[in-house]
Structure 1
Amino acid sequence: MPHVPHVPRPRVPGIDGRSLRWESHNAERREQVLAAAVELLEEQPPGAEIHVQQIAERAGLARTVVYRLFNSRADLQRAVQLRVVEMIRGVLEVNFELTGSADEIIRGIVGSYVDWVAEHPQLHDMAERELGDGEPGELERAIDVLGKELSELLQAGAALLDNDLDDTLIAMLDLLVVGLIGQVRGAVNQWVRRPDRTPSARTLTGLLSRWIWYQIDGQARELGVVVDPTRPIEQARV
């Protein structure tokens, strides 16, 4: 048998095993830092600043390590804000289903937001902060996505009521959703800053839910559609 010379396998550029392990280790430490920052925020009054040294100590890391994991203090703040926004989205999105009546759907979405803010005012304050780096805050980015998802939910509801919306009506619906989100956000921002938190979270949820329904109902009636908000959505057309 002829001798076949050994030809070394060419080295493929890319990430080797050691780099992957180091990347995984850094990802774990980033999670430690973000969890520590969220814990510290929960312990402070709304609006209070937390320092990198405090976060590092809570995470069990040196401050220099934190600065290696994040490009700057602004980068760390944005990462913390994104973590908080992900928490809010997680609470809201479980209610983005056309199950039950219009009243139940609206109250489910609004109530989950109001209750979360009432329980986490410090984190809500962080989500609302401007980061001062010239870029939109993570909450603003999330609201854009949230608006599209809510518009799609309303479009699906209209389809269940045998109303397929054309492009003009969808564009109008998108603006309505933007207004509804702004209304809820503005009202909750003012409410959570009140020392006595009046009215109660439950009452606020009821008020906001009714105001939202009045606007949706008014727009539907302009299109000749009358809906009973207390009946299951697929059976709600009067």
Structure 2
Amino acid sequence: MKPPPHLRPHRRRSGGQRWDEHNIARRTAILEAALALIEEHEPGAEISTQQIADRAGLARSVVYRQFRNREDLDARAREYVFDGYLTEFEEILVLDPAKTVEDLIFDVMLTVVRWTTDHPNLYRFAQQGPLPGHPTADTLTTFRHRVADTLWRRFASWTTVLAIDITPYRPLAYGIVGLVEGVISHHLSTPPTPTRPTQPALARLLTTSTWHLLAGHAADQGHPLDRTTPLSTTLATLLSSAPDRANPEQPVDN
């Protein structure tokens, strides 16, 4: 798993920075070792701190110099999973002019489906305990909100350029994330059978559902979307009418 940005080393280093990087490298090695063991074992299997230390190539005492206790290590491991997932999620949220809106949705859904179905143990582990700084919070709810906030910020940044106010639709970001999480959780709990959807098929189901939701609201606002139109054409059309939305005509007083 790619380390999140705040755990990646910097190129220019002072003495203090080198020591910080040394600690970051050890912390990352410990977290990566813990997650590798979680992926290898059956869900819920007991994994000792000594096993984690051995996998990381460190002494057990080093683990507890980097983390206060086992609860802290587990909480940081969950955070590491979420941060890595969000990093991959953000990287796919890019506008490709050659693709359609539906293509963009499919790319996002396929990334989510592949990550969760390729790492089912990590996905379950990350939801089964507190995160750092949130000892009593519902981890799944916290995770959903972080994903939804990321999705909302990116989408809002695009529509702001187009002078389209989507503020009333913010709750839908959380609804879409809840829909995706529910479908994926059901998929992971279903035993493999010949009729079980493949990753692309599951991503397509989620894409179609999301497309109809977005396209329906867009049409209601006077911005009809076409499934086959490249994003470049869609954006050009919306941009051409952006000045009218940004500066609507004022009624003339008689």
For the aligned pair, the TM-score class normalised by the smaller chain equals 0.7 to 0.9
Question: Matches of 2:142 and 2:211 in 1, distance apart?
Answer: 25
1:209 partner amino acid: T
User: 2:110·2:203 contact (CA, 8 Å) conserved in 1?
Assistant: yes
- What secondary structure is seen at the aligned counterpart in 2 of 1:176? helix
Name the structure 1 match of 2:208.
210
RMSD: 2.6
Residue 3 (structure 2) aligns with? none
Partner of 1:224: 222
Q: Quick check: 1:134 aligned with 2:136?
A: yes
Structure whose CA Rg is larger: 1
Write the mapping of 1:59-74 to structure 2, written as runs, cut at 5 A.
59-74=56-71
Q: Which amino acid aligns with 1:117?
A: T
Aligned residue type for 1:130: G
Structure 1 counterpart of 2:179, which letter? Q
Q: In 2, are the aligned partners of 1:184 and 1:208 still within 8 Å (CA)?
A: yes
Alpha-carbon spacing, 1:26–1:149, altered in 2? closer, same or farther (3 Å): closer
Q: Percent identity?
A: 30
- Give the corresponding residue for 2:148: 147
Query: Amino acid of the residue matched to residue 177 of structure 2?
Result: I
Per the normalisation by structure 1, the TM-score is 0.79
2:90–2:150 contact (8 Å) kept in structure 1? no
SS across alignment from 1:94: helix
Gaps of 5+ in 1: 1-15
Deviation above 6 Å: which 4+ runs of structure 1? none
Q: Tell me the TM-score normalised to structure 2 length.
A: 0.75
Cα deviation for residue 227 of structure 1 reads 0.6
CA 1:151–1:51 in structure 2 vs 1: closer, same or farther (change >3 Å)? same
Which whole-Å CA distance do the structure 2 matches of 1:174 and 1:48 have between them?
39
CA contact (8 A) 1:98 1:153 kept: no
- Aligned residue pairs total 216
The more displaced of 146-155 and 95-104 is 146-155
For 2:180 and 2:169, the matched residues in 1 are separated by 17
1:83 paired to 2:84: no
Residues 56 and 66, structure 1, Cα contact 8 Å, conserved in 2? yes
Match of 1:111? 110
Bigger shift: residues 108-117 or 121-130? 121-130
What residue is the counterpart of 1:200 in the other structure? 198
1:22-75 per-position Cα deviation (integer Å, ceiling 9, x unaligned):
544433321221121121112112333322121112122232321221012111
- Once the 2 structures are TM-superposed, how far is the Cα of residue 20 of structure 1 from its aligned partner? 6.2
Q: Hey, what does 2:164 align to over in structure 1?
A: 164
Residue of 49, 53, 57 corresponding to 1:52? 49
**1:158 Cα offset (Å):** 4.0
